[in-house]
Amino acid sequence: MPALSDADLAAHIAEGAGEILNGIRHRRLLDGRIVGDVGDALAQAWISTVLRVHRPHDAVLSEEADDVGDRSTARRVWIIDPLDGTSEFSMGTDNWAVHVALTVDGAPDASAVSLPARGEVFRSDTVDEVTGPLTHRLAVSRYGHSYHSAAVADRLNMESVRIGSAGAKAMAVVRGDADAYVHSGGQYEWDNCAPVGVASAAGLHCSRIDGREIVYNNPQPYMPDFVICRGEIADRVLDALASPW
């Protein structure tokens, strides 16, 4: 087989894991918590094997694997969430995702996010720039607002749309269905790395909620807050985030 580019490999992994996950929900032969458990485990097993075969020298950080070795000192690190939105996947909704990002020196490089139940794959090397009129919609967690997202909705007079899964929320902005996704209060690097890689390639503003650059592959892979939004509203969103109370 000819050598795959990093971009093709990221996209093929996001797509292939999505096929496995759609198969796991086939005709609802399984349901409830067991579907999420088997989805996490089988997607992880396939992805880690593919990366071992195709990129034996690269390091990997995955939600579903032990974080062992000296990954944080490696230059090339794949940051993976084999199944983002496990509870939505188990409940049978369409809002769940596969996240695959190659980071180089802490920045997302080749990144892909698939939304397999919708048949969509977004890749950083082919994604369209987000243009067109603003929707005045803000993507928020299925569980509702944080103080920060509430402040943005209030200050910018935006309608909140509840969507499960970090990848599904970020891709709603990339698709042009929402203008922003604001998260605070906790997440890990695998929850937002590939979504940020795709969103920044689509020309969207991506930063921490205090405006700092997002840096990945930290020794502690905790990435508690970030904002993805249309460039046209970035200043106003960051102003609201600077004084949410």
Ligand X SMILES: Nc1ncnc2c1ncn2[C@@H]1O[C@H](COP(=O)(O)O)[C@@H](OP(=O)(O)O)[C@H]1O
CB of 81 to ligand X, least distance (A): 5
| Residue 179 annotated as binding site | no
DSSP string of 24-78, one letter each residue: HTGGGSS-THHHHHHHHHHHHHHHHHHHHHH-TTSEEEETTS---SSGGG-SEEE
Residue nearest Mg ion (C-beta atom): 84
Measured at the CA of 120, the angle between CA 114 and CA 126, to 5 degrees, comes to 85
Q: Which does 165 bind (CB under 5 to 8 A by kind): ligand X, Mg ion, none?
A: ligand X
CB of 148 to ligand X, least distance (A): 12
CB of 16 to ligand X, least distance (A): 18
Q: Which does 143 bind (CB under 5 to 8 A by kind): Mg ion, ligand X, none?
A: ligand X
| Residue 8 annotated as binding site | no
- Closer residue to ligand X (CB): 169 or 205: 169
Q: Which does 219 bind (CB under 5 to 8 A by kind): Mg ion, ligand X, none?
A: none
Q: Are strands 159-162 and 180-183 parallel, antiparallel or unpaired?
A: unpaired
| Residue 6 annotated as binding site | no
| Residue 84 annotated as binding site | yes
Assigned token pair, 44: 């992880």
Type of residue numbered 222: Y
Is there binding between residue 84 and Mg ion (CB under 5 A)?
Answer: yes
Kindly list the residues in this chain that would bind ligand X in the complex (CB under 6 A): 63, 81, 84-86, 141-143, 164-166, 185-187, 191
Q: Which does 72 bind (CB under 5 to 8 A by kind): ligand X, Mg ion, none?
A: none
Is there binding between residue 40 and Mg ion (CB under 5 A)?
Answer: no
| Residue 210 annotated as binding site | no
* The one among 6, 40, 58, 81 contacting Mg ion by CB under 5 A: 81
Are 140 and 161 spatial neighbours (Cβ–Cβ below 8 Å)? Answer: yes
Q: How far is CA 3 from the centre of its chain?
A: 26
Q: How far is CA 209 from the centre of its chain?
A: 16
* The one among 191, 196, 209, 238 contacting Mg ion by CB under 5 A: 191
CB of 34 to ligand X, least distance (A): 16
Place of tokens 């269905």: 177
Residues contacting Mg ion: total by CB under 5 A = 3
What b/e readout covers 163-183, taking b as 16+ CB neighbours within 10 angstroms? bbbbbbbbbbbbbbebbbbbb
Residues 122 and 187: their CA atoms lie apart, in Å, by 21
Q: Which residues bind Mg ion (CB under 5 A)?
A: 81, 84, 191
